[in-house]
Amino acid sequence: MDKNLNTKRQSIIEPKWRIGKYKIEKVDRNSTDFPDKLRTIPISPKQLYCAGDISLLKERSVAIVGSRKYTVYGKNVSLMIGRRLGERGITVCSGLALGIDAFAHEGALEGGSKVIGVLGGGIEVMGPARNKDLMMRGLDEGGLVISEYEPTYPATAATFPARNRIISGLAEVLVVVEAGMNSGSLITANHAATQGRPVYAVPGPINSQFSIGCNLLIRDGAAPLVLVDDLIRDMKLGTAKTQKGSSSVNLADDERVIYEALSSLGGATIDEIVRETGKSASLISAITTVMEIKGITETYAGRIYISDK
């Protein structure tokens, strides 16, 4: 009888947490699943509550953060960066907040990669509803959601800034897309700098309240993210993953050579394609014109990219 009573008490002490069909597991610092990159950061978390693929904690990842209030420019940029990283199999990490964080996750999922959402409260009480749907989509596509707080712990004004050190700590690189003067993204950037993580900031108009934070980061030493190619090259990322229905199917021989060069470079000028392929500039110019008419490539600011359409 005592044994039964103890068993009942044990089930109360250790509740079975879940989010939808996913079990929430506790990973403490003594576990081999706990990522080494979080062990060494200042104020390292004592534990992580995780739902989804825990192995992502040790994979290469890029953190993309920004303001909840955003411009069309910020939305498009965060979608583009997430997608381009996703195409190269890089996990995208963010705070799953409204705005830039959510668009970065959507872009990564569109690109075919995984996402990690770091919450400022317990997983079971995650909100708002729109981003909870995005969180579940990320889980369904093999991603991960984590929090240092117990699953039923409510988020507060203090927990959100605290979780930012985990976002930057998990990532190899931090990218800030849009940030106002008092944006929490600037806290994340400060954590990243303290942790020794490279910080990129997307420049914006100097009279925009949505870009002032990013512009100040650049002034103070962050790398300006003018081209996503720069980030891809700095991280030494390889060729984009081949997607079903990719434009690489049924290409002529010369078109395929150029397509593969663009995939490897992440976008290039004609001169860069010349160096990569050994073909003449006139031939490449003619072929890329045909490829653009076919919708395979697109040109922006003098550089040629594989079309995302």
- For the chain, which residues score pLDDT lower than 50? 1-14, 242-248
In a shared domain, residues 262 and 221: no
Same domain, 186 and 290: no
The Cα 120–Cα 149 span in angstroms is 8
For residue 8, being part of any structural domain is answered with: no
CB contact at 8 A, 187 and 161 = yes
Q: What confidence score (pLDDT) does residue 13 get?
A: 38
Report if residue 297 sits inside a domain: yes
In a domain, 17, yes or no: no
pLDDT of residue 293: 73
Residues 153 and 60 reside in one and the same domain = yes
Instruction: Tell me how many domains the chain contains.
Output: 2
Whether residue 128 is found in the same domain as residue 50: yes
Looking at the domain assignment, is residue 133 inside a domain? yes
Residues 229 and 259 in one domain: no
Give 65's strand partners.
176
Does one domain contain both 60 and 187?
yes
Q: Are residues 217 and 147 in the same domain?
A: yes
297 and 223 in a common domain: no
| Residue 155: domain span | 23-234
User: Rounded to an integer, what distance in angstroms lies between the CA atom of residue 84 and that of residue 66?
Assistant: 18
User: Domain for residue 139, yes or no?
Assistant: yes
**CATH number of the domain residue 271 falls in:** 1.10.10.10
How many other CB atoms are found less than 10 A from the CB of residue 59? 18
Dihedral sign, Cα of residue 36, residue 37, residue 40, residue 46 = negative
What pTM, to 2 d.p., does this model score?
Answer: 0.74
CATH number of the domain to which 123 belongs: 3.40.50.450
Domain boundary residue, one of 205, 234, 263: 234
pLDDT for position 295: 73
Claim to verify: residue 57 and residue 204 sit in the same structural domain: yes
Q: What is the pLDDT of residue 250?
A: 67
Instruction: Tell me: do 150 and 119 sit in the same domain.
Output: yes
**Is residue 6 a part of any domain in this protein?**
no
- CA–CA distance, 82 with 111 (Å, rounded to integer): 7
